[in-house]
Homo-oligomer: A and B are copies of this chain.
Amino acid sequence: MIQYVHMFSDGDRDQKDLLGGKGANLAEMVKLGLPVPPGFTITTEACRAYLSEGRVPPEVRVEVTQRLRDVEDLIGRTLGDSEEPLLLSVRSGAKFSMPGMMDTVLNVGLNDDTVHSLASFSGDERFAWDSYRRLIQMFGKTVLDVDSEKFSDVLDRHKEEAGVTADVDLTADHLKQIVAEYKQIVLDDTGSPFPQTPRRQVDLAIEAVFRSWNTERASLYRRRERIPDDLGTAVNVQAMVFGNLGDTSGTGVCFTRDPSSGHSGIYGDYLPNAQGEDVVAGIRNTLALTDLEDRDPNVYRELRTAMRRLETHYRDLCDIEFTVERGKLWMLQTRVGKRTAGAAFRVATQLVDEDLITMDEALERVTGEQLNQLLFPQFDRDADRSLIAVGMGASPGAAVGRVAFDNASAEAAQAAGNSVILVRRETSPEDLPGMIAAAGVLTARGGKTSHAAVVARGMGKCAVVGAEDLVVDVARKQIRVGEHVISEGDTLAIDGKTGEVFLGDVHVVDSPVMTYISEGVDAALAIADDEETKELIDAVHRLLTHADTRRHLQVRANADSGEDAQRARDRGAEGIGLCRTEHQFLGERRQQIERVVLAETDEQRDDALAELLQPQVEDFVSLLTAMDGLPTTIRLIDPPLHEFLPDLTDLTVKVALAEERGETGEEIDRARELRDAVRSMHEANPMLGLRGVRLGLKIPGLFALQIRAIAEAVVRLREEGKDPQPEIMVPLIGSNRELVIVRAQAEKIIGEVAEAHNQSLDLPIGCMIELPRAALTANRIAQTAEFISFGTNDLTQTTWGFSRDDVETAFFPKYLENGVLTISPFETLDALGVGELVRIGVEKGRETNPDLKAGVCGEHGGDPESIHFFHNAGLDYVSCSPFRVPVARLEAGRAVVFTDEVGTK
């Protein structure tokens, strides 16, 4: 015999699956002996039965009757009683908190009779009628599905007629009239009168909660939060207690530690002679919790004891709601309390120091995202500021600087010692020098995975994107927004977390945690100016160090220059997982690649290539010096061809205009030739075109140059007594055969360099896995590759058929709205699709070579959820931007200790 209804006293907090989160916590408090208004929980199992059968199982009604009588006995009030009527709250409570479902109906049990009883019992006629009005309104809307605007129209009309603006200014008589009209609305709308039988109100409310599980909004929320559809919700039915029965009554919320700073102690608010909703409404000023000590020392002592018991029991900061009814304390709700990022770290280590939790548990309590928040400077919230636009916060931090519209002026302003905000309609790889020079990036177009957003995050640079109110006129070097015209050199401030754009200077506060990360714990403690900051640094240090000892995943960084690599190493990177050598050819050197690609003869090409050798050797010497002794994965050049060629439309227009003007001569002939050359190489879908190893095989000298440069850099550094550890990575492999060919070329070149310098050179050669076919044939690729690295950005593009450059603005907003996507798959790895290929790739690769080293490089390597996935998939390392290294270290540690079941949420 299934039991569908459980008294709070029957359950405990481990029964969240059956009783929901709220019900389980209420049960736990009862189990701890805390004073909880009596009530019961109708299980999620009953909900599931309702959802599959389309009706509430009849056994539920029987059990509800039995448990209602228990509640009446416990509280000493009876449902529908004309003197002291029992009123009930009916609340949904799923395993996970879920907006979109029916929340709460209060005051169930009120009707035309009991409203009078409540008036005399509470001594407040207005309160009683207002409660009744609220019941009808809430019940009408959520249970009976009446359009809530009909109720608010009536309310508004009465306020207007009474000449008042606030609900509270309506008198009991007004409210009686409103109740009458509300009841008429219900009758008109549903064809039946507002149910007067309290028990019928209870039954209808229970069914409404069940029904609300499947509203569209709730379904969508579940999809977004990846909560299974078949859990169902529990229903909590609980006796109402009143905090507004005079001065010895009241209501409050409290925390066992300060959720904002993490300070140990007692925090909370108390409002005498009031109900919970009054606290929320903020109509009256609350008292500090400590004032309760003076007003009612016994209640205060009892509450303190309850708080201590709850914190000891939950071993975490608890968030508590309580009511005092005529001197008696009632605990209404508790849960583990939300907290700021800083508080999370401090509370976690405090609890360790109090021997309440272990370091492993402390690691579960803090997240990489919290750590990330602590790494960025913030605007001083007390500073004056003038908001002119809001875009998307795409890369956190706060930046203030002079506006620049192009690389040249950004670099000039930076060289002159000024902080710069680079402003573009949208950015492209060509804007990289400007982005490097800038303190922050602001675009009018693009979303969280636009070029500006991705590159800025990669650089750890503040960015606001898609601020669509800005009209960016690059030609005139102006931004127009509303009545403002902002010119080059004017000052803007941008908040990369909130997306806010301010005109003029705003004071910025540095991050002490960033100082710790980049300069070490002693340096950070030395400049910390208060105890709270010191505690925070200590907490982060202890938790990060613990994560380092626990994690299996190595954390490397993506870096293209010695400077970046050094920065990554300072932050704890244990190697470079991805050096994108094509980035070494942006700016001035771009012309040389263009010459290589457009060369008409082998000689022209070889000449162009030969000029690149020494600069490349210097690039690698610098990189390998910074990473001395650590593995350094150098990806052979992977230029999306079109990014290294002039724009075809621009060229076509240029030639057409010159012809129109009748211009002749060498210049126009050259332009025409260039146009034809670029047109012949123009690709309909460059992302799927002549890239990576394909270009390397088509222009063999390109890879050969780089391999030779790497080998020569190694030889030179060894001669200086250093220990360079490069790994050569081939991009865009689709077939093992491609790698076989490149490997043969590479071994020949490396052999030549080794022989010339009389050294032995054995440089590991591996490849990216960034095409589905590479993952599916990893067993073959592992015959040739000494390591593989998943390029999950590109793998996401091909697995989904999404061009990152296009889909973001074209339909991601739509897809996030309709729930096809819960988050951009470029932000967090799509475990079902792309992740499946990662799993297949690792498994097949290790079938061939059980020791095959496998890593991941790209955005996902720094994303917490994705890092957990990679840990579980058995990868050896993740590589992320230098700025995400601390986050990755923490999450790689958390992945080990994390005990939550995979896939339940």
Contacts and interface: CB of A to CB of B under 8 A. Distances in A.
A820 B741 contact: yes
Contacts of A773: 799-801, 830, 832-834
Contacts of A697: 811, 814-815, 818, 820
A777 interface: yes
Contacts of A834: 773
Interface in A768-819: 770-773, 776-777, 780, 794, 797-803, 805-807, 810-811, 814-815, 818-819
Contacts of A460: none
Interface stretch (A25-33, A255-263, A653-661, A897-905): A653-661
Given A660-B661, A814-B697, A803 B734 contact: no
Nearest to A689: B806
A648 interface: yes
Contacts of A656: 653, 656-657
A239 interface: no
Given A649-B648, A806-B683, A806-B684, A223 B811 contact: no
Contacts of A836: 776-777
A685 B803 contact: yes
Interface string A608-647: 0000000000000000000000000000000000000000
Given A737-B223, A820-B738, A689 B807 contact: yes
A333 B812 CA distance: 68
B771 A801 contact: yes
A803 B660 contact: no
A583 interface: no
A706 to B, nearest CB: 19
Contacts of A814: 697-698
A834 B689 CA distance: 18
A688 B797 contact: yes
B799 A776 contact: yes
Contacts of A777: 832-833, 836
A486 interface: no
Contact of A833 (B690, B772, B830, B832): B772
A850 interface: no
How many subunits of this chain does the assembly comprise?
Answer: 2
A686 to B, nearest CB: 7
A9 interface: no
Interface of A is mostly: helix
A780 to B, nearest CB: 8
A547 interface: no
A694 interface: yes
A890 interface: no
A684 B732 CA distance: 19
A248 interface: no
A687 interface: yes
A255 B794 CA distance: 57
A802 B690 CA distance: 9
A700 to B, nearest CB: 10
Contacts of A772: 772, 798-799, 833, 837
Contact of A806 (B685, B802, B811): B685
A554 interface: no
Interface in A677-712: 681, 683-690, 694, 697-698
A592 interface: no
A794 B688 CA distance: 12
A652 interface: yes
A833 B777 CA distance: 7
A735 interface: yes
B737 A819 contact: yes
Contacts of A660: 657, 660-661
Contacts of A810: 681, 683, 689-690, 694, 698
Contact of A801 (B652, B657, B798, B802): B798
Contacts of A652: 649, 652-653
A803 B691 CA distance: 11
A677 to B, nearest CB: 14
Nearest to A681: B810
Contacts of A815: 694, 697
Interface in A266-297: none
Contacts of A681: 810
Interface string A222-238: 01000000000000000
Contacts of A694: 807, 810-811, 815
A799 B771 contact: yes
A688 B688 contact: yes
B732 A801 contact: yes
A384 B803 CA distance: 53
B653 A803 contact: no
B684 A837 contact: no
Contacts of A698: 810-811, 814
Contacts of A837: 772, 776
B684 A687 contact: yes
Nearest to A651: B649
B690 A806 contact: yes
Contacts of A741: 818, 820
A741 B738 CA distance: 41
Contacts of A649: 648-649, 652
Given A653-B653, A814-B698, A832 B776 contact: yes
- Name, among A681, A686, A807, the residue most crowded by chain B CB atoms within 10 Å (CB to CB): A807
B653 A806 contact: no
- Name, among A648, A771, A776, A815, the residue most crowded by chain B CB atoms within 10 Å (CB to CB): A776
Nearest to A796: B773
Contacts of A738: 820
Nearest to A659: B657
Contact of A685 (B805, B811, B821): B805
A812 to B, nearest CB: 10
Given A649-B649, A656-B657, A741-B820, A689 B776 contact: no
- Name, among A770, A802, A830, the residue most crowded by chain B CB atoms within 10 Å (CB to CB): A802
Given A657-B656, A741-B820, A837-B776, A690 B811 contact: yes
Contacts of A732: 801
Nearest to A642: B684
Contacts of A688: 685, 687-688, 797, 801-803, 806-807
Nearest to A685: B803
Nearest to A690: B810
Nearest to A647: B649
A657 B652 CA distance: 11
Given A697-B814, A737-B223, A833-B772, A689 B803 contact: yes
A451 to B, nearest CB: 11
Contacts of A661: 660
Given A697-B811, A772-B837, A811-B690, A734 B800 contact: yes
Given A661-B660, A685-B686, A806-B683, A800 B820 contact: no
Interface in A419-478: none
Interface string A831-861: 0111011000000000000000000000000
Nearest to A661: B660
Contacts of A735: 820-821
A808 B776 CA distance: 23
- Name, among A684, A815, A836, the residue most crowded by chain B CB atoms within 10 Å (CB to CB): A684
Contacts of A737: 223, 818-820
A643 to B, nearest CB: 10
B776 A800 contact: no
A371 to B, nearest CB: 31
13 contacts: A652-B653, A656-B656, A683-B803, A685-B686, A688-B797, A690-B806, A734-B800, A734-B833, A737-B818, A771-B799, A771-B801, A773-B830, A776-B799
- Sorted nearest first, the 8 A-B pairs with minimum C-beta distance are A688-B803, A773-B833, A685-B803, A684-B805, A689-B806, A772-B772, A683-B806, A685-B685
Given A648-B649, A771-B799, 19 more contacts: A656-B657, A683-B803, A683-B805, A685-B685, A685-B688, A688-B688, A694-B811, A697-B811, A697-B818, A697-B820, A698-B810, A741-B818, A741-B820, A770-B801, A771-B800, A772-B833, A772-B837, A773-B834, A777-B836
